[in-house]
Amino acid sequence: MELLICMASLASIIVRESATALAVMYLINLSEYLEDKTMEKTRKSIRSMLAGEKQMVWKVVDGREKQVTGSELVKDDLIILRTGNGVPCDGVVIDGDALLDEASITGESLPVYKKAGDRVVAGTHADMGEITVRVEKIGDETRMGSIIQIIESEEGLESETMRTAFPTWRMGWPSLESLRRPF
C-alpha cells in the first residue's frame, strides 16, 4: 500500500501535478497523526480499566472485612464486591449474586447475572448486588492483562515497506519539490 502511495505521488510530480502529490503526503501524515492519537487514547482507556489495581476493595481477613487496594491482593484471597465496585482480578464467585457489567471485555450491552460458581474477570464492575469472590489471577495474569499485552505488542509493528519507504520519501521530498518548478 505504501509503495503504491509513493509511486502515485512520484507520478504526480513527474506530470507536474505537485499539488496532488502534496495532498497525498499531507493525508498520509494526517493519518499517522490520527493513528498516534488513537493509540494514545486506547492506552489511556486500557490503563483506566486496569485501575482496579489502585481501587479499594473489601478483603475478608479472619472473618472480618478489611479495605485494601487491588494491588495488595494475592491468589486465593476472598474479596467482597458490592454495587458500584470494580472487579480488580479474575476469580470465582463463592457466595451471593450480582449483575456485572462486562461491556468493557465482551461488548455485551446488558449486565450479566453472576452467582456462586460463576467466573468474574478484571475490568468489569458490579451494577447491582453483592458477591464474595475467590481471587484466581491478578495483574498481568488476568484476561484484561492479556488484552493489554496483545495490544502493546502489536502497536509497534510496521511493515518492511513502511520502514523503508517513508524515511526515504521524506528525505527526498525537498528535491522532488524542486521538480515542480518549471525549468
The residues that bridge with 68 in the sheet, in sequence order, are 57
Q: 122 and 44, same structural domain?
A: no
- Would you say residue 158 has pLDDT above 90? no
Please write down the HEC assignment for all residues of 49-106. HHHHHCCEEEEEECCEEEEEEHHHCCCCCEEEEECCCECCCEEEEEEEEEEEECHHHH
Identify whether residues 92 and 120 lie together within a single domain.
Answer: yes
Are 138 and 153 found together in one domain? no
The answer on 71 and 9 residing in a single domain is: no
Q: Tell which wins on pLDDT, 79 or 140.
A: 79
Block residue for cell numbers 501535478? 17
pLDDT > 60? residue 175: no
pLDDT of residue 10: 80
* Strand-pair category, 64-69 with 119-120: unpaired
Pair 60, 134 in one domain? yes
Please tell me whether residues 100 and 173 are part of one structural domain. Answer: no
Give residue 90's pLDDT band: very low, low, confident or very high (50, 70, 90).
very high
Residues 39 and 72 in one domain: no
Q: Hey, is 131 helix, strand or coil?
A: strand
Q: Higher confidence at residue 144 or residue 173? A: 144
Share of the chain above pLDDT 70, in %: 77
The per-residue pLDDT for 128 is 96
Number of domains in the chain: 2
Q: Do 108 and 88 reside in the same domain of the chain?
A: yes
The phi, psi pair for 70, rounded to 5°, reads: -60, -30
Buried b (16+ CB within 10 A) or exposed e, 17-49: ebeebbebbeebeeeeeeeeeeeeeeeeebeeb
pLDDT for residue 151: 72
**Are 85 and 150 in a shared domain?**
no
Side chain identity at residue 126, one-letter code: A
User: Domain limits at 103?
Assistant: 55-142
For residues 43 and 11, state if they share a domain.
yes
Whether 107 is in a domain gets the answer yes
Mean pLDDT of 25-35: 84
The three-class DSSP label of residue 110 is coil
Q: Do both 113 and 66 map to the same domain? A: yes
Please give the average per-residue pLDDT across 24-46, as a whole number.
Answer: 82
pTM: 0.60
